[in-house]
Structure 1
Amino acid sequence: MPDGGGWAIIKALMKKIKTYDNCDIHWETEGRALLTDSRGRINGLQVRRANALLENFYAPDVMLASGGFEGSQEMLAKYIGPKTHELQIIAPGLKYNRGQGLNMALEVGADTAGSFDSIHSEMVDTRATKPDAVIWGHNYGIVVNENCERFYDEGKRHLFATFEMIAVELWRDHKNKGFFITDATTMKRFRPGWVYESTDQEPVEANSLAELAKKLGLEEAKLEKTITEFNSACNDRPLDLMKLDGKATTGLKVNKSNWAHPLNNPPFYAFPLTTQITFTFGGVKVNPDSQVLTPNGAPIPGLWATGELTGLYYNGALRIPFCDEIKN
């Protein structure tokens, strides 16, 4: 993670942009529509100023780099579907990603790419007072809903191949309320360190499962039953937290494929979870030079796009492979 997060990246970029004598920066100025000449070539941008008045900027080329539409409740409902209004954004600046660039491009005939009905989301600590408080290590314990039920194979694949899938399921099917639970085996391995340090809150800690359930507001008998059954279902293979180790469960309604170590080494730890949206997948289609394309594959003259606005993703974000997968 960069020191200072995304805001630090933006400040660094703005510092560089300001070094160009031929670049003017217009703050609080919202792009509303692309301007075209009589033959359809892009030749500028209509904007709305902070006083709500419209103004035209003319230019031989326009680069759209305005992100996705995670800040627009209307577009989320249109493309993603029901219950999107229940999703919070993972960082405050995302509220400005309202899909204007996408809408402008579609109005002049741009083709689309990416899965419009999908999003990237992550499970975060509900108690956090900072943005992007992701609980990364769902693989190394269990995740339960408010009824103390496991609902996803936490060890199906490695962290970056599953963290958005479990987050979506928590939101869509489990009232967006869950709990990550583990024991000292995991916490001694990964704390202090990056895995459980994205939140600004300490994990809930208890010396017994009954005490942990009470602190989390869960039914003690249900949580103890879930964890007792999970522990009994774990095989005897050695635990290796740094690879897909095949230490799995059998006989459960939802089995765990890897890192299924019994949670029997107190103290026990937990983070209360909710899902927050990070970015959307659907966008405009571009060629390798970033030119926006029409449905017949022709570039729209004068129009370019980059970043999240382009339809990069289909049914999942790009994953970061483990070193073993690179070697193999």
Structure 2
Amino acid sequence: MAERADDRLVRLLGIVAYLDGAGPVPVDELARHFGVSERQVLDDVDALWVSGTPGYWPDDLIDFDADSIERGVVRLTEARGMTRPLRLGTREAVALVAALRAMRETAAVQADPGRAGVVESALRKLTDATGEAAAALDVRLAPEGDPRVVAAISSALAAGHRLRIRYVTAVDEESVREVDPVSLHTQDEHAYLLAWCHRSQGRRTFRVDRVLDAVELGVPVEGHDVDPDVDFAPAGDAPTATIVLASPARAVAEQVPVESVRDLPDGSFEVRLRVTNPVWLRRLLLARAPHVLSVEPASVADDVREVARAALAAYADLPADLPDA
């Protein structure tokens, strides 16, 4: 799956901060620490080598010891101020206070005492430093999903109890499951429950706003070997679609979970993605229609074409003398 640009940016900044404190680090150790391949670490170092502060002359760029790289060790020689304490203006501080207050209300934070403590500590220090501007700020965030569901999930996670949930999938298939909750995560605007599902006998991820009902059971969770990392990409057994788009639609590769991205000689690009919900793909293609150059399989293109024709036909039935809006 293609990596999101914001995920890579966080890792690049993290590499600089980590090396500044740890000193020279072998490439393989750095790769393990950041959960990427050794090749990716070297690509990240190459990207950082041409990054720096405005001006971008040689003396403005982040620098590494080239000889150490040849020996398989990454040694940062110049961070160009990337690790200095950040000095915020009032507007920046207020924006961070608002973001932290919103984060504090999310289910993923409320269900994890460790996360909640970190957020509260950062918010308290930032609010004190910002003063009256922060006091005048009021942020109210409605939690995603039914508040009773969020409360039941949070309580079960804290107590280590099993849950009975009624869940509806993206294609409106409803089921009742008993799950052992593991953790809550957020991705973009959604919250996800990572759990061991007794019905499926495996690890599953449930979007919280699709949990219609949740009941905390008086049964302790079992000790399952569950990978804590959450992959928000569609399941591997979902059908695939291959789409070629013109360059102006490049944001699709960043905004949509894709299996692969391939740049083409004429400036267009090809994305391959898995489709768990045909309605979602249809909407994506209709929204980007001016930039869609080809779609495979042909059945997907035919489906979108029929929907577009039906929409145009509906407009054709309107009276020609409608008043202007």
**Structure 2-normalised TM-score?**
0.25
Greater share of residues in helix: 2
Task: Answer 1 or 2: higher relative contact order, Cα 8 Å, separation at least 6.
Answer: 1
Larger Rg: 2
**Structure 1-normalised TM-score?**
0.24
